[in-house]
Structure 1
Amino acid sequence: MRTVGAALLVLIALILAGVALPGAWIERNLVQADGFVELAGPLGADPDFQAQLTDALATEATAAAELPPALAGIIEPLIADAAATVAALPGYPAAWDDTLRRSHDLSVPTEVNVSTGVESPQPLRLDLTPVVSLALQEVGSGIGIEVPEPAETLIEIGPAEQQVALGQLAAISGLWPFLLTAAGMSALLALVLARRRGTTLALLGVGIAVLGGIYWLASDAAPGGAEQLRAQNADAESPIAALFREGLVARAVEDAQPLSLAVVGVGVVLCVVGVAARLLAGGRTRTQQD
């Protein structure tokens, strides 16, 4: 009976930890604005992403300027040139960070009911206003006239249904400290209750290593899912939306996979310690019998 109880507690601990660990990552990197900026920030400095971003940015900046017909033919080429070099401007890093913070505030809901979701959900949006304004300011300073700046330049990167799902995910992920504490208590109770604590610890280690492997496989599959979504929405969304989404997924994978391997490592260590403890306990038992 004690063995069954210990095994059940180990299973509960693994289930709780399996939800808590990704919840902690989501809370840190997606729900919190600082974490989101830290995660997505390097996208703005990636040469490949910059090259594709500036192409799309030229179109958005030209449309946002709403130039009079008489000036359009003169200024639009200048806007394209400024957009192509905007990443080299001194104000670009701050403008990119501002873009990410604005986009986070627009897209990640702060008040969510886990059961009913988000009240009046909105599409997920990328707010390029700071970067577009920077490009237009560069054009204006170059020709000595003020180029009209947009009040906002919003690019939809996901439907309203995704904001509902994101809000519910954020609400659940916020529970990770309680879930992780409960997981730790369940694991300790399992060790206290178990007849063979070394075996129970080894079993717990194997389960944790499996969780790490599952996390790694899930993150490895994420870029393929993003590419598939881009193919499905190729005719309905802005290219910059797909670029940002795929870049963000790639950054998330880059950040999450080492953590997944760390979880595997912790599981392996616990398994080895458990097996060693079991062997030592067996050796002491044989010595006492002799």
Structure 2
Amino acid sequence: MTLRTFVSALGVVLAVLLTAVAVPAAWVDQTIVQETGFVRLAGALGSDPEFQSQLATAAVGTFESSVSLPGPIQNLAADALRNAASGMQSWSDYPQAWEETVRNSHRLNFTAGSQPEESAATTALLLDVGPLVRLIRDHFATATGIRLDVPSESLVSLGEPSHRQLIERVAAFAPLWWIAAVGAGVSALLALAVARRRSVVLVWIGLGGLALAALWTAAGNLAGGMIGKLSSANGVAELFKQEFLTAARTGFGEWIVIAAVASGALLVAGVIAWLVSGRQRSRSAQA
């Protein structure tokens, strides 16, 4: 094996290994750590009927526990709250309140120093249903003519204390995906630059990308299964976890498909280039 062949092979191996890290880290950063991506991913959960129902029940329960209703209007209040629990998702201002819930929850869990001190040591993930509680307050005021004060935050626990460390590590390391991505690009270019037959490098990079697509799929299913087995604090937390995992698998699956298509294209290009160069070498030898 010549030095050029060794360096080229090393470049291909490094490119594949660094890509194996860069792509999942980039997806986590763009989709979960970054607020815009998290809102896009988790925001869709607000349209799930079963989740809506449990979320509305939890918000109504939080509202009832956070206010003191005068005795004469308790019956009227009970009717208004039952309507909220069964039909809150049909209110025109519900989507905006749910989006604000997701944004507030992301800030609490992924922004350093934003989690309340009394809850920071007791839970890994928090869902702030405060916007939904305020939404119930506003509709309650419309129905009864009584406007009540509610807390600015109404937190629902999602997870266990041990989960917090995982979230902090993800938030710290995922944004560094670009370092691995740059390394993968440089390694691939180095492999192409020193290779005697660049078509072979393209073939191996394409094969490596397809192998990574299969590995990411298997790893995603394994991680999803492990996270799915973790206990949650309550019914709302459990349903949120399951629905979020489903959305995450679908979202990352789209990235895997794109990576597989790109890898397949490199493989085909490499094979075609190899065949063409082989014919040219054969004609040169005959001449």
User: Taking structure 2 as the reference length, what is the TM-score of the superposition?
Assistant: 0.88
2:236 aligned residue: 240
Please show how residues 145-224 of structure 1 align to structure 2 within 5 Å.
145-224=146-225
Contact 1:58 1:79 in 2 (8 A): yes
Residues 84-103 of structure 1: CA deviation (Å, up to 9, x unaligned):
21111122111111111111
Letter in 1 for 2:168: G
Q: Is the 8 A contact 1:213 1:261 kept in 2?
A: no
Q: What is the CA-CA distance between 1:218 and the residue it aligns to? A: 3.0
Change (3 A) 1:70 1:238: farther
Which residue is 2:51 aligned to?
49
- Determine the C-alpha separation between the residues in 2 that align with 1:213 and 1:57: 41
Give the distance between the partners of 1:192 and 1:168, measured in 2 at CA: 37
Secondary structure of 2:157's aligned partner: strand
Q: Report the Cα distance in structure 1 between the residues aligned to 2:28 and 2:13, rounded to whole angstroms.
A: 23
**Equivalent position to 2:283, from 280, 287, 290:** 287
Q: In the aligned structure 2, how far is the partner of 1:173 from the partner of 1:133?
A: 34
Q: Does 1:10 align with 2:12?
A: yes
CA distance, structure 2, for counterparts of residue 159 and residue 109 of structure 1: 19
C-alpha displacement of 1:66? 4.1
Whole-angstrom CA distance in 2 between matches of 1:222 and 1:91: 36
> For 1:33-72, what per-residue CA distance to the aligned partner results, in whole angstroms no more than 9, with x for missing partners?
1211111111112223223322333323322334456655
Q: Which of residues 260, 271, 274 is equivalent to 2:270?
A: 274
- 1:250 equivalent to 2:246? Answer yes
Distance in structure 1 (CA, Å) of the matches to 2:28 and 2:264: 25
Of residues 169-178 and 129-138 in structure 1, the stretch that sits farther from structure 2 once superposed is 169-178
Contact 1:24 1:173 in 2 (8 A): yes
Paired residues in the alignment total: 277
Matches of 2:259 and 2:277 in 1, distance apart?
Answer: 27
Equivalent-residue separation in structure 2 for 1:183 and 1:195 (angstroms): 20
CA–CA distance in 2 between the matches of 1:177 and 1:224?
28
CA RMSD of aligned residues (A): 2.2
TM-score (norm 1): 0.87
Deviation at 1:223, TM superposition (A): 4.6
How far apart, CA to CA, are the structure 2 residues paired with 1:134 and 1:180? 44
Moved over 4 A (4+): 68-74
Q: In structure 1, how many angstroms separate the alpha carbons of the residues matched to 2:216 and 2:69?
A: 50
Question: Is this contact kept in 2: 1:29–1:39, CA < 8 A?
Answer: yes
Equivalent residue for 2:116? none
Alignment of 1:92-107 (within 5 A): 92-107=94-109
Deviation at 1:226, TM superposition (A): 4.2
Question: Does the Cα contact within 8 Å between 1:212 and 1:264 map onto a contact in 2?
Answer: yes
Does the CA contact (< 8 Å) of 2:97 and 2:131 recur in 1? yes
User: Equivalent residue of 1:174, what SS?
Assistant: helix
Following the alignment from structure 1 to structure 2, what is the Cα–Cα distance between the partners of residues 273 and 151?
Answer: 58
Percent identical pairs in the alignment equals: 32
Q: C-alpha offsets along residues 171-194 of structure 1, whole Å, 9 cap, x if unaligned? A: 221112222111111001011122
Q: Distance in 1 between matches of 2:165 and 2:224?
A: 22
Q: What secondary structure does 1:156 align onto?
A: strand
Deviation at 1:158, TM superposition (A): 2.3
Out of 63, 66, 70, the position equivalent to 2:65 is: 63
Contact 1:39/1:252 (8 A) holds in 2: yes
3-state DSSP of counterpart to 2:152: coil
